[in-house]
Chain A
Amino acid sequence: MSDVVEKTLTALPGLFDSQTGAAKITNRLRQLVKSITELTSKHEEENLIKQELCAMKEQVSSPNTSMKQMREIMVRAMYCEMLGYDASFTYIHAIKLAQQGGVLEKRVGYLAVSLFLNEGHELLLLLVNTVLKDLQSTNLIEACMALTVVAQVFPKDMIPAVLPLVEDKLSHPKEIIRRKAVLALYKFYLIAPNQVQHIHGKFRKALSDRDPGVMASSLHIYLQLIRESPDSYKDLTGSFVTILKQVLGGKLPVDFNYHSVPAPWLQIQLLRILSLLGKEDQSTSELMYEVLDESLRRAEMNHNITYAILYECVKAVYTIHPKVELLEKAARCIGNFVLSPKINLKYLGLKALTYVVQHDAKLALQHQMTIIECLDHSDFTIKRETLELLFRITNAQNVTVIVEKMLDFLRGCNDEHTIIHLVGKVSELAEKFAPDNSWFIQTMNCVFSIGGDLLQQDVPNNFLRLLAEGSESKEEDDQLRLYAVESYLTVLKGHTSHLPQCFLQVMSWVLGEYAHLQGSVDRREVIRLLTQLLDQRSVSSETRVWILSALTKIPEGQTDLILHLAERLSSSQDTVLRQQAQELLHLSQDSQLHEWVLPRGAPWDAIEVDSSLSFLDGFVSEALAAGAAPYKPPHQRQEELCEDRALNLEPYSFSLPVSLSSCSITDRQSPTLLSVSSGLSGNSTELSQKAGSSTLILEGVKRVWGKDGYLPQKEATAPLVDEPSAAVQPPVQQEAAERTEPRPELSTRNQDKQQLASSLFVGLGVGSSVSLLGRSEAPPPRFRKKPRPHESSSSGTSEKSSGSSCRSSHHTTDIFLYGSFLEEEPATSKSAFDHTPKSTTANGLSQNKDTKEDKHANTSQIFGGDMVIVRPSTIQDKHPPSESSDLTALLPADLKDLPHSDVISLTSDPSLSLSSCRLFRDEALLLLIFISNCTETVIKDVAVQLTCEELKTASLRGNIVDCLEARSTSVCHYALLMDDPHTNVSFTGTVSYQTQPGHTNTLPFSGTLSTADFIRPLVLTTEEYGKLWLSLSHDVKQNLKLLTDAGDPLRTTLNALKDALQLHVVDIIGSEGIVACRLLSGAPCLLHCRVSGAALVMWLRSPHPALPDCILYHCQRALAHR
């Protein structure tokens, strides 16, 4: 304890007597603190605290302890926990104190809870009732405390319990309550965005709250919302601008001032929101130019807070659609930062520059000397930020200097996180801008030896891929490979014991693959060097596997060495090594087999990797038939574990063995080409778990499977640019030299700096190639990567691999859909078209992706059969056919019986009017678009184009009409599917048509669809339901409103839901009901409803993570709207 504290402690009694109320402390705590300060060793402190905790334990379990004493114990427990001692026995008492105490105890109890328990703690469940009670309390303080604790520790699954009450608080008369409620909802939004989506409207009310504190709190939510979808909030731009203007104009109460700057936190929040709204949007940006200008102008005072605002302002100016004047002003501001003697401002200036040079690299030139000084700064933080800045301005001309600086920094750095981060950047730069092979290989050697085993796996992966895939010119590739081989041989001849495993692995792979390119070196020498590594103790077993596979590739004729090695290793303890040694032995004896397994110089992409592991299907189905549990990925298992721990109070928890035997296998797509590698290595997949199976895929270059499963591969960052570099070198160097010239009398030290500057900033002054407003064009990368034809099948992320199986299932759905359409064909179309061949629709579908010209050319023959042109006699009068009754009459006879929505008018112009109607088919949502000609003339070449990213078009018909007679209506069918549930999706589209030949008009339209349109009943028996329930992993639980207006409330409510959402009510037993539905693409969702008091407790489960939330949302709406 510090001397100061000790001195003051002696004067304690006086000190505390003189202070009133606020400084009143409990005697026991005072004693405890005091006795701790008197101790001399850590050991004594431990003993004392142990004693204290023992005494406390006794006290809390004694029935005679009063609430007041308990409060005092809790304070001491908090103190002990802060010192790092475990006082977990008091946790339950903290909850009790919050529950049973008066306001005073509650305050301490809640504080203790928020300090002791984090979101995952199971004891929190016991707090729910207390919080509910306090939220309803008329006592302001109690409500405040409850809101505070809710915003601090409530986990996702407890939110539904308090959500309605917190929501109510948004309209509480006291602003402090409203403010806390808004922040609690903000926190909920961060944890579980779906659960609060129905209150977005109320957020708007909070934004226009008369209390500035509430309004400022709502901005936290808006910042988050706008970050996720800026387009949905463009309409608020005006409001945000007005608020900022008012703040700047000093319209807020003076207490919001901070060092005489009006509400700086509010300003910064608004600037962030505006920059998100104005990004890549000229018209929105124009709304805010004026206020940004004013912001820049007002922030003149020399105080940290004004700089904080300026920084945000500069960022906003450079993020939104550019305006030259503002950019100039912002650039001047950055000067103030960078040139400031205050180190904090300098740091922020560098950070601002780092951001700004991405838009305008020339700005770095103005501050080059400052940057150079910062590069040698004694403060690690400043240095690192400077390197970040240099990274952004690197080009082909200054890359060597900058990389050298970065490597220098790395050599003196021992912070793991920084090393990983910077080494990744160095390798990125090296790959993009390397001037020659030797520099590239040398730099990568540094990267591997400095970064070592901290490196992200994608660095060595990318490097090896680059070597293996090569560029267009084989000669250049071979040179690079040759250089790498030579360089590695040199490295291996030196000391190797300190080299990181990752570097050894890279080297052995390269040597195995390309040592044959080097004619002058004896193969035996290569083998000797690699074998030597095997003997080293520091080499890990994974690396040994790499080395052995390298050796497997080299031998040819060196049988004696190999035989010797293989024999030696065949008695190894390590089973993987032993297996490899056996393989090596066999391959070296059978050169034909060797040639077949390891074809020399085969292009990398000729090797097909069976990423779906379809060759294991047989094995899997056997195992499942024998009663094995279906495979679940680790994350899902983990989730289930958590769920079991958190909430397992409900029925359905007796675990029956579930067998989902066929479903997981049948729809998996087998690759057409059975791969060499998968065929061969089938057996070793099981054996090599320990070695991370690196041996298997060496042929395939990329590591697809790693220790933690499938390794996502980062895509090549370097863009493919074919034309030669736009930047011309000589004039640039001249320019840089000119810049440095006018300062003749510089000390040598300064001259050094000047020189450094000219080498660092070379290439930035090329005014012509760097546009002021846009990013500078990326120079062509040194190592161009080949386009990758097998992208989706071989290098995808895990998502992609699962995608392949999805695709196949969609494919089958498509076929299914055509099938059913065609069966109905005769009924839909006029008799004249009955002969339509079956392939027509299929053609039509693929045709949709072709260019419009093609469509037009083929229209008559392809779409002729599908067109339904109707000339209803009812619509002969002048009114455009917008009335729904008229249009439903146009529904094809077979579709008339299907459940359908009302006809809604989409859009219209003087010639055409568009309406839509949704038909709920079993396999898809049919969206019918009625195109009505409102004129007295014929309209030609009508083409409908509909786009929606979230939806999939399974089939379409009638989207092109050659000729639409006067006053007639044509119907266009879209069969839509939703793969991933979204609560609402909007579609947009255009209709193009010609009223006069050669004159094409377009009419845009848009509309929304909801998940509810894509939900169908799922018919199940109660037993099937029970089984399925157990196998589903994602669940959500929430209380809903119970409809009590008639008879049996449960039945009434479920029927209401059934009507609104097309659910299937499986069974109703007493106060519980089970309901099932499915999304069109197949994912089921099971709902379990139980009446509890006046609420309906709904528990939803589905294999799809987002589906329960979506359905819940629609259930809520359906019940709210009744």
Chain B
Amino acid sequence: MQFMLLFSRQGKLRLQKWYVALSDTQKKKISREVIQIVLARKPKMCSFLEWRDLKIVYKRYASLYFCCAVEDQENELITLEIIHRYVELLDKYFGSVCELDIIFNFEKAYYILDEFILGGEAQETSKKNVLKAIEQADMLQEEAETPRSVLEEIGLT
């Protein structure tokens, strides 16, 4: 996979993950172009399209578009299911996920994505394992949070 974009119906980017090294200007140009093309497609059309030498696979969930760019030989259907599995993971984690969850907790959405896909390939396809890894990190986070804030109160404020 080359990159993944999440954007709203209005074309606002909600999440972007690049698995190839590109400059910022290139990234901006590409995401603008891709968002424009995908938003212009009608609902009954198929979820795949050829773009440059890549395949764009996208799917709309409520007001949010999930969109992946994969190599030409890649199996489009399985990419579509990767998107779906990611949505399932988000859903399970946030508890019936909506666009707002992703706006306000975009860093969590990134953490989940990083546990699911690494270096552009599916890393762990078991839902349970992905969520377990995230929960473990979250737990540590909370543990770390309490003593630290106390320290801060004593030492700094």
Q: Which residue numbers of A lie inside 8 Å of B, CB to CB? A: 1-2, 4-5, 8-9, 15-16, 19, 21-23, 25, 29-30, 33, 64, 66, 68, 75, 78-79, 82-84, 86, 102-104, 107-108, 111, 114-115, 118-120, 140-141, 144, 148, 151-152, 155, 176, 179-180, 183-184, 186-187, 190, 213, 216-217, 220, 253, 255-256, 258, 263-266, 268, 304-305, 307-308, 311-312, 343-348, 351, 378-382, 384, 417-418
Question: Nearest Cβ in chain A — how far from B38, in angstroms?
Answer: 12
- Find out whether the CB atom of A344 lies under 8 angstroms from the CB atom of B75: no
Partner of B78, one of A5, A217, A268: A268
Question: Nearest Cβ in chain B — how far from A210, in angstroms?
Answer: 14
Question: Nearest Cβ in chain B — how far from A655, in angstroms?
Answer: 28
- Find out whether the CB atom of B85 lies under 8 angstroms from the CB atom of A258: yes
Assess whether B80 is interfacial by the CB under 8 Å rule: yes
Give the most central of A216, A344, A345, A380: most B CB within 10 Å: A344
Assess whether B154 is interfacial by the CB under 8 Å rule: no
In the assembled complex, the Cα of A16 lies from the Cα of B104 at a distance in Å of 10
In the assembled complex, the Cα of A120 lies from the Cα of B94 at a distance in Å of 35
- Find out whether the CB atom of B123 lies under 8 angstroms from the CB atom of A308: no
- Find out whether the CB atom of A111 lies under 8 angstroms from the CB atom of B80: no
Please, which residues of chain B bring their CB within 8 A of the CB of A82? 13-16, 106
Question: Nearest Cβ in chain B — how far from A679, in angstroms?
Answer: 43
Please, which residues of chain A bring their CB within 8 A of the CB of B23? 118, 120
Please, which residues of chain A bring their CB within 8 A of the CB of B53? 417
Nearest residue (CB) in A for B145 is: A104
Please, which residues of chain B bring their CB within 8 A of the CB of A380? 49
Please, which residues of chain B bring their CB within 8 A of the CB of A8? 98, 100
Q: State which residues 1-48 of B face A: CB under 8 Å.
A: 8-10, 12-16, 18-19, 21-24, 28, 42, 44-48
Partner of A103, one of B44, B78, B141: B141
- Find out whether the CB atom of A308 lies under 8 angstroms from the CB atom of B75: yes
* Contact bitstring B131-150, A, C-beta under 8 A = 1, else 0: 00100111011101100110
Question: Nearest Cβ in chain B — how far from A703, in angstroms?
Answer: 25
- Find out whether the CB atom of A148 lies under 8 angstroms from the CB atom of B10: no
Besides A1-B8, A312-B75, 9 other A-B contacts (C-beta < 8 A): A23-B104, A144-B133, A179-B123, A184-B119, A263-B125, A305-B81, A307-B77, A308-B80, A418-B50
In the assembled complex, the Cα of A30 lies from the Cα of B105 at a distance in Å of 10
Partner of A379, one of B10, B45, B129, B149: B45
Q: State which residues 80-121 of B face A: CB under 8 Å.
A: 80-82, 85, 93-95, 98-101, 103-108, 110-111, 114, 118-119, 121
- Find out whether the CB atom of A344 lies under 8 angstroms from the CB atom of B47: yes
Please, which residues of chain B bring their CB within 8 A of the CB of A344? 46-48, 76-77, 80
27 A–B pairs (Cβ distance < 8 Å), ordered by A: A22-B93, A22-B105, A22-B138, A23-B101, A33-B103, A75-B107, A79-B106, A82-B13, A82-B16, A82-B106, A111-B110, A115-B16, A140-B136, A141-B137, A151-B119, A183-B118, A217-B123, A253-B126, A255-B129, A258-B85, A305-B81, A343-B44, A343-B45, A343-B46, A347-B76, A351-B76, A381-B48
Please, which residues of chain A bring their CB within 8 A of the CB of B93? 22
Please, which residues of chain A bring their CB within 8 A of the CB of B82? 265
Please, which residues of chain A bring their CB within 8 A of the CB of B106? 78-79, 82
- Find out whether the CB atom of A180 lies under 8 angstroms from the CB atom of B46: no
In the assembled complex, the Cα of A107 lies from the Cα of B144 at a distance in Å of 12
With contacts A1-B12, A344-B47 taken as known, whether A213 is within 8 angstroms of B129 at the C-beta atoms is yes
Question: Nearest Cβ in chain B — how far from A677, in angstroms?
Answer: 37
Assess whether B71 is interfacial by the CB under 8 Å rule: no
Interface residues on B, range: 35 or more
- Find out whether the CB atom of A311 lies under 8 angstroms from the CB atom of B9: no
- Find out whether the CB atom of B121 lies under 8 angstroms from the CB atom of A83: no
Nearest residue (CB) in B for A114 is: B114
In the assembled complex, the Cα of A2 lies from the Cα of B9 at a distance in Å of 8
Nearest residue (CB) in B for A86 is: B24
Please, which residues of chain A bring their CB within 8 A of the CB of B80? 304, 308, 344
With contacts A103-B144, A256-B126, A305-B81 taken as known, whether A78 is within 8 angstroms of B107 at the C-beta atoms is yes
With contacts A82-B106, A258-B125 taken as known, whether A311 is within 8 angstroms of B46 at the C-beta atoms is no
Nearest residue (CB) in B for A345 is: B77
Please, which residues of chain A bring their CB within 8 A of the CB of B152? 66, 68
Please, which residues of chain A bring their CB within 8 A of the CB of B77? 304-305, 307-308, 311, 344-345, 348
Partner of B46, one of A19, A155, A347: A347
In the assembled complex, the Cα of A311 lies from the Cα of B76 at a distance in Å of 10
- Find out whether the CB atom of B8 lies under 8 angstroms from the CB atom of A2: yes
- Find out whether the CB atom of B141 lies under 8 angstroms from the CB atom of A25: no
Question: Nearest Cβ in chain B — how far from A270, in angstroms?
Answer: 13
In the assembled complex, the Cα of A379 lies from the Cα of B48 at a distance in Å of 10
In the assembled complex, the Cα of A346 lies from the Cα of B48 at a distance in Å of 11
Nearest residue (CB) in A for B53 is: A417
Assess whether B61 is interfacial by the CB under 8 Å rule: no
In the assembled complex, the Cα of A258 lies from the Cα of B127 at a distance in Å of 9
Give the most central of B13, B22, B107, B111: most A CB within 10 Å: B107
Question: Nearest Cβ in chain A — how far from B1, in angstroms?
Answer: 12
In the assembled complex, the Cα of A417 lies from the Cα of B52 at a distance in Å of 5
- Find out whether the CB atom of B118 lies under 8 angstroms from the CB atom of A148: yes
In the assembled complex, the Cα of A304 lies from the Cα of B47 at a distance in Å of 12
In the assembled complex, the Cα of A190 lies from the Cα of B119 at a distance in Å of 10
